[in-house]
Amino acid sequence: MLDPPLEITWFYSAVTFHTSKLGPKNDHSTRIVVAKDLLNLLISCSNLSSASKKIALLAPVVYELYNVLYDISKHGFSLRMEVVDLVEKMVSYIMVYCGIDDYANGIVEVDNSVLFFEDLVRVWTVDRGGGSSKYGEELRVFFPVLSDSVWNGMNTRCGIRELAGIVLYEVFFLRLCLKFGSGGSREELLKDTQNLAVHIYQGVSEFVLFR
């Protein structure tokens, strides 16, 4: 299958991801390696996908990086730079496709809703209570920085364009969080944040959720 549906790619990659985490060594360093492998897998599965779908597929990577960063900060582990490097790789990839108008290229699949979205979210959050809580609570786990109004608006349905917009939104805040703790100058932080914000805005403006 040259361009598998997002649902198939997510389910296959989730099984691979959870299997990797069941290995004999599951420390924080290993989790970062597993997250990197997940990013590479999702990228390789989207070579012929639309720009929106390429970005939307990365939602599980963002979810895991938020978890890793939280656990590292909570326990004081010094693996922050490994997370930064992986986030920078993901940002560089996203920026290539950010703002591309799929409609202009005759691609209309981006209007499609992701089938079984609720079940897919549960597959990814199973190791953090997924399946044992209400749908809205699972969204809070999978999309940790979204507001209640966005969760309520999704209501178990999410299109590829909307999902891509959410990924852009979360990546921006994840990278911003890492930048605040990088120790750089205020001027460098402001310049870098402004540049990223411009690119993210250009991409987000293409997605229905934030129009």
Q: What is the pLDDT of residues 148-202, one digit of tens each?
A: 776 666 655 678 888 888 898 898 888 888 877 666 666 776 776 676 666 566 5
Distances (CA, A) of 135 to 58, 83, 115, 154, 160: 21, 29, 15, 11, 19
On whether residue 144 sits in a domain, the answer given is yes
How confident is the model at residue 187, as a pLDDT?
73
How confident is the model at residue 13, as a pLDDT?
96
pTM: 0.84
On whether residue 80 sits in a domain, the answer given is yes
Secondary structure class of 159 (helix, strand, coil): strand
Q: pLDDT tens across 3-18, in order?
A: 899 999 999 999 999 9
Q: Is 38 exposed, middle or buried (0-12, 13-18, 19+ CB in 10 A)?
A: buried
Q: pLDDT tens across 38-56, in order?
A: 999 999 999 888 888 999 9
**What proportion of the chain, given as a percentage, has pLDDT over 70?**
69
Q: Give the whole-angstrom CA distance, residue 51 versus residue 202.
A: 13
On whether residue 18 sits in a domain, the answer given is yes
**Listed ranges 17-21, 97-101, 173-177; the one with the highest mean pLDDT:** 17-21
Averaged confidence pLDDT in the chain: 79
Q: Give the whole-angstrom CA distance, residue 42 versus residue 21.
A: 17
Distances (CA, A) of 67 to 2, 117, 125: 31, 20, 11
Secondary structure class of 75 (helix, strand, coil): helix
117 with 159: CB under 8 angstroms? no
Number of domains into which the chain is organized? 1
Q: pLDDT tens across 67-78, in order?
A: 988 888 776 656
Its domain, for residue 188, covers: 6-210
On whether residue 168 sits in a domain, the answer given is yes
On whether residue 1 sits in a domain, the answer given is no
